[in-house]
């Protein structure tokens, strides 16, 4: 793939305009809002949605739910919700909508998951003299056959070392492990970075099977929406400042085909 094509998968925080992207039957809408609005799904359409800034309310079938930053919900086909502002004084409300199509129907109802760093579980390893750190914590929020979505957070104790994520660790021998980017060819993915420091950036890499690669430093609110056949990995450079979170939201639409994806190693 041409490097110019790969660079087009990146996007910045939608401060000036709505971000709208589409890959196959998967569509991303990412924007700030100042008014109440409705969200609906059509026949054979499903939605995974995350509030990224500001508090608001969600009305679904005459029930009202309070929404706070990083809460995520799933909406089945032929459903509608109303998003309401709870305070006109708050000027920054931001939301991300990820639509997909149903290929193989499964049973999945409306679902709302509340954000808490206490729900994150550790994965990976801290660094050593021989290998970079891959330590992070992960919260898988929606995993219902139509979507896998959640957050990956790099805690301060790992961030001090510098960390690579979205990787597979392969054991080459009893004493040797290697780190590779991974792929999931049939399933595109969205990353949106949520970092409690406007100046800090994570470097996101995209790599094709021929070894052609691009990278871009992404700050809070930026992201990338890319085909799953591209290798992808992130590098969080060493950062000594203590911050509340250094995360990225991720969405993968699984179309009803599988409930869980196991990324394959891209050996390059």
DSSP 4: H
Q: Give residue 91's pLDDT.
A: 66
Write out pLDDT tens, residues 94-122. 999 999 999 999 999 999 999 999 999 99
pTM of this structure: 0.95
Q: Which long-range contacts (CB under 8 A, 24 or more apart) does 124-132 make?
A: 124/163, 124/165, 124/169, 125/169, 126/158, 126/161, 127/161, 127/162, 127/163, 131/177, 131/179, 132/161, 132/162, 132/163, 132/164, 132/179
- Measured over the CA atoms of residue 247, residue 253, residue 257 and residue 262, the dihedral's sign is negative
Q: Give residue 173's pLDDT.
A: 65
Asked whether the predicted pLDDT for residue 214 surpasses 90, the reply is yes
Distances in whole angstroms, Cα of residue 166 to Cα of each of 189, 200, 241, 245? 12, 19, 23, 17
Domain spans in the chain, listed from the N-terminal domain onward: 3-260
Decide: 251 and 187 in contact? Cβ < 8 Å.
Answer: no
Write out pLDDT tens, residues 21-77. 999 999 999 999 999 999 999 999 999 999 999 999 999 999 999 999 999 999 999
Q: What is the CATH number of domain 3-260?
A: 2.60.120.10
Asked whether the predicted pLDDT for residue 248 surpasses 90, the reply is yes
Write out pLDDT tens, residues 132-176. 999 999 999 999 999 999 999 999 999 999 999 999 888 776 667
């Amino acid at each position: 793939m041409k490097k110019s094509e790969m660079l087009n998968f990146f996007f910045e925080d939608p401060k000036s305009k709505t971000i709208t992207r589409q890959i196959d039957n998967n569509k991303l809408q990412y924007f700030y809002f100042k008014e109440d609005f409705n969200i609906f799904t059509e026949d054979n359409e499903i939605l995974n949605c995350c509030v990224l800034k500001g508090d608001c309310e969600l009305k679904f079938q005459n029930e009202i739910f309070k929404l706070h930053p990083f809460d995520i919900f799933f909406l089945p086909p032929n459903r509608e919700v109303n998003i309401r502002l709870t305070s006109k004084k708050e000027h920054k409300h931001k939301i991300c909508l990820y639509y997909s199509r149903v290929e193989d129907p499964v049973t999945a109802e409306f679902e709302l998951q509340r954000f808490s760093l206490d729900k994150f579980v550790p994965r990976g390893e801290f660094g050593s003299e021989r290998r970079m750190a891959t330590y992070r914590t992960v919260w898988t929020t929606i995993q219902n056959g139509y979507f896998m979505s959640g957050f990956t957070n790099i805690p301060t104790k790992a961030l001090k070392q510098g960390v690579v994520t979205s990787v597979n660790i392969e054991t080459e021998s009893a004493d040797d492990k290697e780190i590779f980017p991974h792929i999931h060819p049939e399933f595109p993915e969205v990353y949106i970075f949520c970092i409690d420091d406007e100046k800090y950036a994570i470097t996101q890499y995209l790599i094709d099977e021929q070894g052609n690669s691009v990278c871009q430093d992404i700050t809070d609110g930026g992201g990338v929406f890319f085909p799953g056949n591209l290798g992808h990995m992130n590098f969080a450079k060493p950062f000594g400042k203590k911050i509340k979170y250094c995360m990225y939201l991720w969405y993968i639409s699984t179309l009803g085909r599988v409930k869980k994806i196991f990324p394959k190693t891209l050996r390059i």
